Amino acid sequence: MSDPIETAIFEKLSAADPKGVGGKSIEPAEVAKALQPEQWQRMLPKVKGVALGLMRQGRLTITKKGKAVDPSSVKGVIRLRLPTEAETAAALAALPPVPQDDDDIA
């Protein structure tokens, strides 16, 4: 089952950046307002949390003033955009290595 917040993030991004090249960005508040128009402020921390997880997977870039940032050290307004190929590669390289299965040695 797909996460509705993740789905909403990528729907908003595909509308803003139809070519998917990582050029256009959206505000997390746009996603929160689409999910809960009346109480979007309560949804905003959840949207940012999902965005952080997507960033760690290399599927999203979090920016401030147009530059990719580490969200754990940033305060204030952030934006979300699709990553460039280089950003995706860097995020995947930063993931911990997958343990090798030793079943081949017998």
In b/e form, how buried is each residue of 48-86, taking b as 16+ CB within 10 angstroms?
A: bebbeebbeebbbbbbeeeebeebeeeeeebbbbbbeee
User: How far, in Å, CA of 93 to CA of 81, rounded?
Assistant: 19
Q: What is the pLDDT of residue 43?
A: 95
Residue 19 DSSP SS3? coil
Structure tokens at 86: 């280089």
Note the pLDDT tens digit of each residue in 31-79: 999 999 999 999 999 999 999 999 888 889 999 988 888 777 778 889 9
SS3 50: helix
- 11-32 average pLDDT score: 85
Alpha helices in the chain (DSSP H): 4-16, 28-35, 40-56, 85-94
- Across the chain, mean pLDDT equals 84
